[in-house]
Amino acid sequence: MLYTLTVETSAQTELIDITPRVQEVVQQSGLTDGLAYIFVPHTTAAVTINENADPSVKSDILMVLNKLISPQEPYRHLEGNSPAHIKSSLVGALETVFIDAGRLVLGTWQGIFFCEFDGPRRRQCKVKLVAG
């Protein structure tokens, strides 16, 4: 079962909590036990699992990534979005989450975040559910 989520981003860099949308896919599928693979098919975006209780965590993550990967370097990539490519590689394009009793198995404070590094854009996020 492969599902596609459309994600509308509104800033150059942002983290968007997609946990409720992934859980909705799980519920609609009827799958009770297995795995959810969350994949971002973009070279300037990513997916991660982190705290979703305090919004300042998202800001802190983006602040540090923006400091570590400076837009001021003499990048050779002609499109001018090399920092976004680097951030995407560091964060990663795939997360795996267990499904138990029809629910995503996440820690108390964890959420699944779509990471935009070259927005704003209309993006896709793929969710593959596997029984098991």
Q: What would the pLDDT profile of 58-117 be if each residue is shown by its tens digit? A: 999 999 999 999 888 899 998 889 999 999 999 999 999 999 999 999 999 999 999 999
Number of structural domains, the chain?
1
Report the Cα 100 to chain-centroid distance in Å: 21
Range of the domain at 67: 2-131
Asked if the model's pLDDT at residue 6 lies above 90, the reply is: yes
- Nearest by Cα to 43 from 77, 4, 74: 77
- pLDDT (average), residues 18-33: 98
Pairing of strands 103-104, 2-8: unpaired
Scan for tokens 């098991």, then name that residue. 132
Beta-bridge partners for 104: 99
Asked if the model's pLDDT at residue 122 lies above 90, the reply is: yes
The whole-chain average pLDDT of the chain stands at 97
Asked if the model's pLDDT at residue 35 lies above 90, the reply is: yes
Q: What would the pLDDT profile of 38-62 be if each residue is shown by its tens digit? A: 999 999 999 999 999 999 999 999 9
Residue type, 117: F
Report the CATH number that the domain containing residue 110 is assigned in CATH. 2.60.120.460
Asked if 3 contacts 39 with a C-beta cutoff of 8 angstroms, the reply is: no
Report the pLDDT value the prediction gives residue 78, as an integer from 0 to 100.
81
> Among positive and negative, which fits the CA dihedral 14, 20, 23, 29?
negative
Report the pLDDT value the prediction gives residue 80, as an integer from 0 to 100.
86
Report the pLDDT value the prediction gives residue 84, as an integer from 0 to 100.
97
Report the pLDDT value the prediction gives residue 72, as an integer from 0 to 100.
86
Report the Cα 29 to chain-centroid distance in Å: 21
Report the pLDDT value the prediction gives residue 9, as an integer from 0 to 100.
98
